[in-house]
Amino acid sequence: MPPDSPPPPPRLPRAEDEAISPRTILDSRWRLGFPFASSYLVFMGLAGLSRPVSVLMGLLMEACLSLLFYKPFIFPSVPIPSASATTTDAGRDASSSSPPHRKRWDCLLLLLNNNMGSNNERFKKAFEAMKPLGISKKQMKPILRHLYNLFDKNWEPIEEENYRILADAILDAQNERPMPAAPNDETNGEPTPHSSTQLRPDDQRPSASASCYYTDVNDNETPLIKRSRRSRMSSADFVHEQPTQPIAIEGMSSQPASLQPNEPIRALAVVRQADDHGDPSSIVACKRDKGLLLESPEDVLFLNGPEPEIDLPAAPVAKHLNTSSSESGAVHSEAQSKGGSLQKEAVESDAPSVKPIACKHAVDGNSNAAVGFTVSESSEPTFQNCIVSCQPELPLSKQRPLHDVADISKGEERVSIPIVNEFGSESCPPLFYYIRKNLVFQSAYVHTSLARIGNEDCCTDCSGDCLLAPLPCSCSRLTGGEFAYTPEGLVKGEFLDECIAVNHFPEKHNKFYCKACPLERSKNNALPDPCKGHLARKFIKECWSKCGCGMQCGNRVVQCGITCNLQVFFTKEGKGWGLRTLDELPKGAFICEYVGEILTNTELHKRTVQNEKRSKHVHQVLLDANWGSEGVSRDEEALCLDPTFYGNVGRFVNHRCYDSNLVVIPVEVETPDRHYYHVAFFAARKIKAFEELTWDYGIDFDGTDIAFECMCGSKYCRNPKNSRKRARAATSGS
């Protein structure tokens, strides 16, 4: 385990926590049903009936009583308040504060209370409460139905605080209406059933309490496919060419299910609290347990409609990881599955067919590993605080699924990012904690105090969308008085081409040479090579908190996070896992950031040594884009990003020599200097749906320090072996 690794994120509340186990139901039946049955048995006995008849009558009586009063026991979809059922914030279930052995009378009262008012009456009451807010029955019905299902057919949390959750959810749903269409928006802002982008709702808006609501393609008022309120461009704008996106629905067969283009789809959306840091503890876990979706015969019409939920099991991974490094600021890790056994299993196919990854669990045998990673003797990191997502009947400590294959971000991102393996292997990507934003590891100096940001570095007087202002505001100063983004949220062609040219023709661009290069020192502290130069790169400067504009400002793209549909997949070329887009992406589209722990070069060096000892891998990116003007040369000033333990999907972007489809652009968001910045991936050209996303790491592949055997497949591949092969093929062909 890295000595100072931060504590792992807290465990998210899971569906299993809320599930009512059959045992709970049996216990409750026993506690309540049996005493009644016995008393009637005795009564019958006293009445002089024969024993068998008494028994029969007693049982009959119990059945009648159960039918009259204890429907929940027979139709367990109505929740039974139970000490074993934990609750979420949103649920605020009264049962959570109850003693473990509730008195029978209390329990009976609660149950009667649950069934007292019929659903229709309660529906009417709910409507009465919504009326003063100007909410119509039509607006209320689908949301109420959803909440009712979500709270396990329990009215109490819905009715609490004068239906506050219901009102919040309806208002949230109204706020989430599609944005007005962008000028070139082909879909005119309307959702298309073919698109599968399910943006999570805006996690930065102030929301009084966490709440869930649903979207339904059949309901005009709550469209399924959401567009980001903040983002100018989302994948809803792109052509979605995936007719059948394979998913597995829990509780159904292990065969992948497909969402048919015109099939009505329901999706749960999770609203988070106004926590920009994506604190997982503030996320409401939407229910995934199919058991909670059972319909009881008591359901009234308006409350019908369980939501199928996507839930794939997860699997651990075994990887060999070699330390390696590269030039140009990037130090990469070896995370390939050597031996090519997986590769051999690869089936040539254009249309990806996906097998669900079997559910496996990491064995929790290491008690020292309560926090973060543990590096075992075999140098494989073991996750200790992951989310439990399957086999809830086993103790938590034994259940450590490593990745949520339905969404590797585990809800951190606004879109779900599934993991698929088309080649039948059960392995999962390398283990790491998913973070949406960079985090300082320990000593890195990332000065984001507002006091440091002068008026000249922000646009305090702006409001709304800076891109629409008659004159570009001061935030455009750093990009030559023009914003780098178009109103659709794409990087402008000219700006993008200049950024690409820096990578394609480095010799034509300014390079800064350090006297004592931190990068070279991180490779070989004792005898560092001379600095190979750091390219002076073009920066984008986004508006930020100190600016007067809002989150809807078009000069805020990277800070809004991922909006396109991505997928982590296993490459067939032997590069290990990769990242691909499920939609066609236009040139200039923002894909994702390269996120990791922010380390100083000193810390990087320590990690490298430590990892070398344990033959572990690293893949770090040096934040050297402005060293030319800053003159950084001290190790504790040089910063880098290390996504080895904490990172995002950016860590899956593989290398491609020269003609990669992504370009990296440094983006300044919250710091006026360029000492620290965001490393953002943008589409260097139009990218087809299902194309792998690649980035030129800038490796030469001809030195002694080769990070990996390049298998990029590019005709410009710099791997000497591949270029020799190409040369031979060319001569034999000619």
Ligand X SMILES: C[S@@+](CC[C@H](N)C(=O)[O-])C[C@H]1O[C@@H](n2cnc3c(N)ncnc32)[C@H](O)[C@@H]1O
Q: Which residues bind ligand X (CB under 6 A)?
A: 332-336, 429-430, 575-578, 619, 651-652, 654-655, 707-708, 710-712
Q: Between 467 and 665, whose beta carbon lies closer to ligand X?
A: 665
Q: Map tokens 């009648």 to a residue.
A: 64
- C-alpha span between 7 and 370 (Å, rounded): 8
Question: Smallest gap, in angstroms, from Cβ of residue 489 to ligand X?
Answer: 26
Q: Which two tokens stand for residue 723?
A: 């270029």
Q: Between 169 and 386, whose beta carbon lies closer to ligand X?
A: 386
Yes or no: say if 673 and 640 are a contact pair by the CB < 8 Å rule: no
Q: Between 570 and 682, whose beta carbon lies closer to ligand X?
A: 570
Instruction: Report which secondary-structure segment, H or E, holds 270.
Output: strand 266-270
Sequence-ordered list of residues with C-beta below 8 angstroms from that of 498, at least 6 positions apart, any chain: 538
DSSP 187: T
Yes or no: say if 185 and 234 are a contact pair by the CB < 8 Å rule: no
Q: Which two tokens stand for residue 488?
A: 């659709």
Q: Between 576 and 628, whose beta carbon lies closer to ligand X?
A: 576
Yes or no: say if 68 and 42 are a contact pair by the CB < 8 Å rule: no
Question: Smallest gap, in angstroms, from Cβ of residue 714 to ligand X?
Answer: 8
- C-alpha span between 532 and 408 (Å, rounded): 36
Q: Between 415 and 579, whose beta carbon lies closer to ligand X?
A: 579
Q: Between 153 and 619, whose beta carbon lies closer to ligand X?
A: 619
Q: Between 135 and 331, whose beta carbon lies closer to ligand X?
A: 331
CA geometry: angle 370, 375, 380, nearest 5 deg: 120
CA geometry: angle 458, 462, 468, nearest 5 deg: 115
Question: Smallest gap, in angstroms, from Cβ of residue 670 to ligand X?
Answer: 25
Question: Smallest gap, in angstroms, from Cβ of residue 652 to ligand X?
Answer: 5
Q: Between 302 and 690, whose beta carbon lies closer to ligand X?
A: 690
Q: Which two tokens stand for residue 494?
A: 């000219």
Report phi then psi at 434, rounded to 5: -85, 125
Q: Between 169 and 711, whose beta carbon lies closer to ligand X?
A: 711
Give the bridge partners for 374, in sequence order: 382
Q: Between 280 and 578, whose beta carbon lies closer to ligand X?
A: 578
Cα separations in angstroms, 463 against 356, 480, 567: 48, 21, 36
- How far out from the chain centre does Cα 209 lie? 21
Q: Between 193 and 713, whose beta carbon lies closer to ligand X?
A: 713
Question: Smallest gap, in angstroms, from Cβ of residue 700 to ligand X?
Answer: 13
Q: Between 303 and 707, whose beta carbon lies closer to ligand X?
A: 707
Q: Which two tokens stand for residue 120?
A: 């229709």
Q: Between 73 and 645, whose beta carbon lies closer to ligand X?
A: 645
Question: Smallest gap, in angstroms, from Cβ of residue 437 to ligand X?
Answer: 18
Sequence-ordered list of residues with C-beta below 8 angstroms from that of 663, at least 6 positions apart, any chain: 496, 499, 500, 503, 681, 682, 683, 684, 695
Question: Smallest gap, in angstroms, from Cβ of residue 687 to ligand X?
Answer: 17
Question: Smallest gap, in angstroms, from Cβ of residue 594 to ligand X?
Answer: 9
Sequence-ordered list of residues with C-beta below 8 angstroms from that of 235, at least 6 positions apart, any chain: 195, 197, 415, 563, 564, 565, 582, 583, 585
Q: Which amino acid is at 6?
A: P
Q: Of the candidates 636, 598, 563, 592, which has an alpha carbon nearest to the alpha carbon of residue 438?
A: 598
Number of helices (H), then strands (E), belonging to the chain: the values are: 14, 24
- C-alpha span between 473 and 483 (Å, rounded): 9
- C-alpha span between 678 and 668 (Å, rounded): 6
Q: Which two tokens stand for residue 670?
A: 């919250």
Question: Smallest gap, in angstroms, from Cβ of residue 642 to ligand X?
Answer: 11
Question: Smallest gap, in angstroms, from Cβ of residue 139 to ligand X?
Answer: 46
Q: Between 85 and 435, whose beta carbon lies closer to ligand X?
A: 435
Question: Smallest gap, in angstroms, from Cβ of residue 319 to ligand X?
Answer: 8
CA geometry: angle 274, 279, 280, nearest 5 deg: 120
Question: Smallest gap, in angstroms, from Cβ of residue 335 to ligand X?
Answer: 4
- C-alpha span between 129 and 117 (Å, rounded): 16
Question: Smallest gap, in angstroms, from Cβ of residue 525 to ligand X?
Answer: 22
Q: Between 342 and 387, whose beta carbon lies closer to ligand X?
A: 342
Q: Of the candidates 281, 282, 264, 263, which has an alpha carbon nearest to the alpha carbon of residue 272?
A: 282
Strands 439-440 and 590-593: unpaired
- C-alpha span between 109 and 123 (Å, rounded): 21
Residue nearest to ligand X (CB): 576
Yes or no: say if 686 and 587 are a contact pair by the CB < 8 Å rule: yes
Question: Smallest gap, in angstroms, from Cβ of residue 421 to ligand X?
Answer: 11
- C-alpha span between 99 and 79 (Å, rounded): 17
Question: Smallest gap, in angstroms, from Cβ of residue 399 to ligand X?
Answer: 24
Question: Smallest gap, in angstroms, from Cβ of residue 252 to ligand X?
Answer: 30
Q: If phi over 0 gives left and psi between -120 and 50 gives alpha, with beta otherwise, what is residue 523?
A: alpha
Q: Between 176 and 334, whose beta carbon lies closer to ligand X?
A: 334
- C-alpha span between 517 and 608 (Å, rounded): 16
